[in-house]
Structure 1
C-alpha cells in the first residue's frame, strides 16, 4: 500500500498531540509512498532512544531494530475510488488525506466504504548492519493481509525498505558520521544517543552498511453506516 506522504520518524512515545495529528495526516503507507532509508537512518541516529547492540567490526557489527515511531489514530472514510484504489480520509481535526492502495495489495485487504470509521496503528522500526564484502544488494519487500468478513474487518500492510549506504567518514570525538546514500548524496549526521555512539565506534570509512526501515500499518473498521 502507499503511505500518506510526509511521515517523519520519531522516537517511540515522544509525540505531542499536534505532532501525532500531523504524523497521522502525513503517513506514507504503501498505503504510504516509500521514503529513502538513508534519510530515515539519519533521523534515527540523531533522535533514536532505543538501545543498539554494537559488535566487533570483524564480526560485521549489527544494530538491533529500533522503534522510531509508534502511534494510533482514528479517521473517517470520506470517499473511495475503487478503480483507482484511492481512499479519502478525514482525521479528528478535520484534515483530509488521500491514500493510495497498490493494486497488488488491494485484493488482500478489506474493502472500505464512505462513512466508515477506522482505527489505525502505525509502527516504524529501523536496523542497520555492516555489509560483508561481496554481499548482494538488499531488496525491498512488501506484503498485506486482512479479513473482509464480520462487523470489524481489518487489515495490515508491512513494507521493508532496504538500501545500502557507504561510510566516508567517522569522528567518534564529535560523534559524527558521514555517508553517501543510494542517490549519491553525502550526508553528515550527528550521533546524539550513547547506544548509537557505540555502534558508531564499529564503523570506519569504506564500510558499506545495509539499512532497513520497516513500516507496519494495521487498521480496523470500528463502525460503518448500515447499507
Structure 2
C-alpha cells in the first residue's frame, strides 16, 4: 500500500498531524523488555475530494481537493480488489486516523513485520471502504540527550536521524532509552472513505 493513499500531498497539508504520545512503564520488568510508549492517536482528520479520473488497470486515482489542487493516489492491486470501484465525478468523504507507538525490543526478538488490510462494500448509493496499514520498523538508538530532548538513531536504511522530542509524554519515554537500545516503532494509518454523491450512469 502506498503511503500517499492515506495522505495525498496537498490534502495532507490540510490534515497536519500534531504528534502527541503517551508513555507507560511496568514496574518489576526489565528495561530492555518492556519500556514502551503507549499507542496514541496522533492524527484524526476528515477531508472531501472529487475523483477526476481513474486508471483501473494501474490502480491510479486522480483526486481534486476543495481548493482545486490535484493529487494522484495509488492503490495496490491486492488492496484494490477488496474496495468499491471509484468513478470519475464521484465526490468522496475521507477520514484519516494515525496512531504511533514504540517499544524497546528485547534481545533476540524477531524483526517486526509491516501489514495491511482492506474491506468495503460495493453496493448501494454510498459505497464505502476502509484501508489499514501497520508500518513497523526497528531502529537502533545511538544517542540520547534528555536535556535537549533529542534522540539519535539509525533507521532500517542505515541512515542516522536526529529527532527533537517535543511532547512531554514522549519525553518520559525518552528517559528510558540508552545508546544501543533497539526500538520497534509502529505507525498505524487507517483511512475510511465513502462515496457521498455519484453522477448518474
Q: TM-score, normalised by structure 2?
A: 0.86
Shift of 1:58: 5.2
Shift of 1:145: 0.2
Structure 2 spans left out of the alignment, 5+ residues: none
Q: Is the CA contact (8 Å cut-off) linking 1:53 and 1:199 kept in structure 2? A: no
- Structure 2 Cα separation of the partners of residues 35 and 67 of structure 1: 21
2:83 to 109, 115, 138: 109
Residue matched to 1:135? 109
Q: Is the CA contact (8 Å cut-off) linking 2:6 and 2:190 kept in structure 1? A: no
| 1:131–1:36 CA distance, 2 compared to 1 (3 A) | farther
Residue 42 of structure 1 aligns to a residue in which SS? coil
| 1:154–1:54 CA distance, 2 compared to 1 (3 A) | farther
User: What per-residue deviation string (whole Å, max 9, x for no partner) do you get for residues 197-224 of structure 1?
Assistant: 1101111111000000111011000010
RMSD: 4.7
Shift of 1:143: 0.4
Residue 113 of structure 1 aligns to a residue in which SS? coil
Q: TM-score, normalised by structure 1?
A: 0.76
Q: Is the CA contact (8 Å cut-off) linking 1:116 and 1:223 kept in structure 2? A: yes
- Structure 1 Cα separation of the partners of residues 196 and 130 of structure 2: 15
The aligned length equals 201
| 1:211–1:139 CA distance, 2 compared to 1 (3 A) | same
Shift of 1:174: 2.4
Residue matched to 2:171? 197
Structure 1 spans left out of the alignment, 5+ residues: 1-26
